[in-house]
Structure 1
Amino acid sequence: MDEYAEAVRRFYEVYRPIARRHNLRLHSKFSMYDDGFIKIFQGEGQDKKQIIKVEEKDDVLCYRRAMDAVIGWEEGRRKEQQAAS
């Protein structure tokens, strides 16, 4: 499997279960001419809030950074919930 396909597969393996738990939505765009980006929102419609934005020239790096950002975001949520308890 090439590097790009592996990065995308690993990202979605991490993202999908977290997205289900926290009502997340993803918007991404990749182009030969512009930097690619991944934006992740929590909620729907006008109530949605952007929680993650990753922008990189290299698509593989973008997916890897987005995966790390999603993991870090969920860990931060867990710590907030534990502190509130």
Structure 2
Amino acid sequence: MSFLKKLFGMGNEPASGEPKVLGEEHHLDYVIKATEMKVGSEYQLSGIIEKEIDGELKSSTFIRADRLGSPEMAKSAAIDKAKQIIKEQGDSLFG
């Protein structure tokens, strides 16, 4: 079964069930984490935006249709997209 998961791009998450973080950046009062979402031989744009509000850590996950050829490209695109989301939605993204 493990072989099949690796063959189809599954099973790349750490044991905790959290996605692998490709990179992290602080932007304003937010923490942006670019996450790995491998689809075949490509990487789909995905990430997590976090912010502490009133002592509670809030987070919002985003996934976009964009597919990129390398983890470095996915990391860069996810961080750029997260900054755009923050600019457009601010704290309302935690809904």
Shorter-chain TM-score tier: 0.3 to 0.5
Query: Normalized per residue, which structure has more helix?
Result: 1
Query: Quick check: which one's strand share is greater?
Result: 2
Greater RCO (CA < 8 Å, at least 6 residues apart)? 1
TM-score by length of 1: 0.44
